Chains A and B, each alone.
Chain A
Amino acid sequence: MTSRFSYGRIAHAMLWCGLAVASLAVSIPKIYSGATAYPLRPTGPLHTCDSYLKFATGASGVSKDLISIFQSITASKRVIIFTRKDDAFSSGLGMTSAYLASPHLVRLFEINGTHPDNELSKMNPDEVAAVVFCRINRPAWLPAGKVFGSGLEVVSMPETVRR
């Protein structure tokens, strides 16, 4: 009897029971709020991209439209993407656009401010299939492109753009 119910064993059991109860008390509110924070979302092959793009631009179902734009332009040319430094939304839009731009090679430019004139003027337009502006202003000399919600614009370049 002494060995089965020694003080050591009782202390051991109480220690672990106490730790278990305390762990549950700390965890349950966090797990509950994490588990109930989101409703069921629509499913779909691009549902993660759509969610990100909706979050950043406010527009729904953007991924499919972006893919069809990228598919309609010359595959051998690059897609140029402009994002803003120190702007997480802009950076996220840029990377999601790069993800969807496959099989084009892409080039990401992170610029200070919102005017990419300098960088654009240095490029050879013959090598560019499209320019994507992520929370960046399109230069006035560039033809208007397709705008998605707020902050995302894609200018495809079927012919040489001249300044």
Chain B
Amino acid sequence: MSALALLGAFATLLFAGYGLLALLVRQETRFSLTEQIAFSWLLGTGAVSLFLWIFGLFFHGVLLRGSVSIVCLSLGFVGWRRMVPLPPRRTPKSFEIFLGIIILIEITIVFYLSFVHTLGWDGLLNWEIKARYAFANGGVLPATYFSDSGRAFSHPEYPLAIPFTELWLYLWLGEADQFWAKPIFPIFYVVGTFLLVALGKRLAGRTWLGLLLAAFLFFVPQITVEVGSAIAGYADFPLSIFYLAAIGCLFCAAEQHNTVFFRLYAACLALLPWVKRDGVILWTVAAACGVFVILRTKRSPLFFLGFLPGLLIICGWHFYLSTMHALQPADFLPINLESLGSHLYRIQPLFSAFLAEFYNLPTWSLFWFVVAVGVVYLLRRMPDPGALVLFTALIVPIFLYLLIYVFSSWPSYLDHVGLSISRLLMHVAPVGFLITILAVCRGSAKNPTRVHEGGMGTCGSAGSERTPMVELA
């Protein structure tokens, strides 16, 4: 019974996501099956959690679940009518099959790990708590929760993408079950590998390279087994995947003037602040990159409208919190020049702490060293807007996170850093993989295979994919 309910919950999520994907793609570009699944999941979790929150302002109980289900199924119907075109099938090479099997084994291990581990501390007390309380209150978070000082530890001000995805499972299951909330997180890992494979192919023109790098995702301990990893029920790994999707799409949009990827970028960008409060920082950086791409590629000013959904979510959530009289977070001092001036002495110790984290081998293995080598390669392509986007998307959030700790209100700000730094760096880690892919394929301008190899999967071919067959379909 539980399995059937879970199947229903996941199916409706994917229907909603696929419908949105179909609306955004408008049959203009071909997407591989793995890309379609990945984007359907990301858009589906974002949309369903937003629907639950917005509809929850008007309904609760059966009506809430029913109305959201109807919207999901309607979007699924739209998706069925305007199916996203698939690229022509090709026979995979034996090395690709081998890498595919490795990835499959890794995914199985990640699912196994998520089931043997409990939810992490924040996974339970910051995220799942909201799903449980909303479930017990007919699908809506009780107003008293936001102002209850005794539960300030659970950060009532955090956004709801992850807890309301868990809530969606609970509504289908008919009970709040900490065990069955967990599959959400390894699914984000699956989506991460799918995106790396797909973006690897689009960036480098080689499927095996995407597969190889996706296989290496498993070998970053912070992503698989460390505190706050992909299996712990934290929002950090899902946030990193949304960020990967946004930046990857922006890279493709920048390279080939492709509007489909820009629309997908705008959708993933909008969901960043909805996944975690830190997502606002990533949103700012990714939006700045988007502005750069629009200006650099001389696109219509209408493209700036792509930032509107994200702004609406940020403002809407803050407005909601203020109307609920939510408690103000106490982890940081007010951000102003006075606080900055009086805490400027922290910069040097913070810089040392960040630097130490990069060569923390038990947590990161050689990942940051590999990324550093990749960045050196990337610098050689610097006039390229796509390369600049990747570089900025990797480096700027790290500096902003470092700056944020200057305003830490913890008695020991270095303890604050120690507890959260690895999770913050995880937000940009998948972008590090994209840089590595570019570096390994080395100087795509000199590499004609990038655009043509593999038929139609690459960014290069995506812009000119409006074939007569697609038009007719």
User: B133–A31 contact, CB under 8 A?
Assistant: no
List residues of chain A with CB within 8 A of the CB of B129. 99
List residues of chain B with CB within 8 A of the CB of A39. 116
Taking the complex as formed, is B225 at the interface, i.e. its CB lies under 8 A from any CB of chain A? yes
Task: Render B88-132 as a binary contact track against A, CB cut-off 8 A, 1 for contact.
Answer: 000000000000000000000100110111110101110011001
Task: Render A104-139 as a binary contact track against B, CB cut-off 8 A, 1 for contact.
Answer: 011110000000000000000000000000000000
CB distance from B375 to the nearest CB of A (A): 13
CB distance from B178 to the nearest CB of A (A): 5
User: A19–B373 contact, CB under 8 A?
Assistant: yes
Per DSSP, chain B at the interface is helix
User: B225–A31 contact, CB under 8 A?
Assistant: yes
Assuming the A-B contacts A15-B373, A98-B151, are A48 and B361 also in contact, with contact meaning beta carbons closer than 8 angstroms in the complex? no
Residue of A nearest to B152 (CB): A108
Candidates B109, B132, B149, B367; contact of A23 at CB < 8 Å = B367
Task: Render A29-61 as a binary contact track against B, CB cut-off 8 A, 1 for contact.
Answer: 011001100111101111111011000000000
User: A98–B373 contact, CB under 8 A?
Assistant: no
Candidates A23, A92, A99; contact of B370 at CB < 8 Å = A23
Taking the complex as formed, is A24 at the interface, i.e. its CB lies under 8 A from any CB of chain B? yes
User: A26–B366 contact, CB under 8 A?
Assistant: yes
List residues of chain B with CB within 8 A of the CB of A48. 118-119, 123-124, 128, 178
Q: How distant is the Cα of A31 from the Cα of B442 in the complex, in angstroms?
A: 30
User: A31–B224 contact, CB under 8 A?
Assistant: yes
The interface on chain B, measured as residues whose beta carbon lies within 8 A of the other chain's beta carbons, has a size of 50
Residue of B nearest to A45 (CB): B177
**Chain A binder among B77-85, B213-221, B307-315:** B213-221
Assuming the A-B contacts A31-B221, A98-B153, A103-B136, are A12 and B113 also in contact, with contact meaning beta carbons closer than 8 angstroms in the complex? no
Taking the complex as formed, is B362 at the interface, i.e. its CB lies under 8 A from any CB of chain A? yes
Assuming the A-B contacts A20-B216, A48-B118, are A35 and B225 also in contact, with contact meaning beta carbons closer than 8 angstroms in the complex? yes
Which residues between 336 and 376 of chain B lie within 8 Å of chain A, taking CB atoms?
Answer: 361-362, 365-367, 369-370, 373
Residue of B nearest to A100 (CB): B132
CB distance from A109 to the nearest CB of B (A): 9
Candidates A47, A105, A106; contact of B118 at CB < 8 Å = A47
User: B373–A108 contact, CB under 8 A?
Assistant: no
Assuming the A-B contacts A35-B225, A108-B150, are A27 and B219 also in contact, with contact meaning beta carbons closer than 8 angstroms in the complex? yes
Taking the complex as formed, is A69 at the interface, i.e. its CB lies under 8 A from any CB of chain B? no
Q: How distant is the Cα of A102 from the Cα of B136 in the complex, in angstroms?
A: 9
Taking the complex as formed, is A93 at the interface, i.e. its CB lies under 8 A from any CB of chain B? no
Assuming the A-B contacts A23-B219, A23-B366, are A38 and B117 also in contact, with contact meaning beta carbons closer than 8 angstroms in the complex? yes
CB distance from A63 to the nearest CB of B (A): 10
User: A47–B366 contact, CB under 8 A?
Assistant: no
Taking the complex as formed, is A81 at the interface, i.e. its CB lies under 8 A from any CB of chain B? yes
Taking the complex as formed, is B467 at the interface, i.e. its CB lies under 8 A from any CB of chain A? no
Q: How distant is the Cα of A161 from the Cα of B175 in the complex, in angstroms?
A: 36
Taking the complex as formed, is A95 at the interface, i.e. its CB lies under 8 A from any CB of chain B? yes
Interface residues of B (CB under 8 A from A): 109, 112-113, 115-119, 121, 123-125, 128-129, 132-133, 136-137, 142, 144, 148-151, 153-154, 175-179, 216, 218-221, 224-226, 361-362, 365-367, 369-370, 373, 439-440, 442
Q: Which A-B residue pairs are the 3 nearest by beta carbons? A: A34-B225, A106-B150, A27-B219
Sampled A-B contacts (22; CB under 8 Å)? A16-B440, A19-B373, A23-B216, A23-B219, A23-B366, A23-B370, A26-B365, A28-B219, A30-B221, A35-B224, A38-B117, A47-B178, A47-B179, A48-B123, A48-B128, A49-B124, A96-B125, A98-B151, A98-B153, A99-B132, A102-B133, A107-B150
Other A-B pairs, 4, CB within 8 Å; known A19-B373, A45-B178, A51-B118: A27-B220, A28-B219, A81-B150, A106-B151
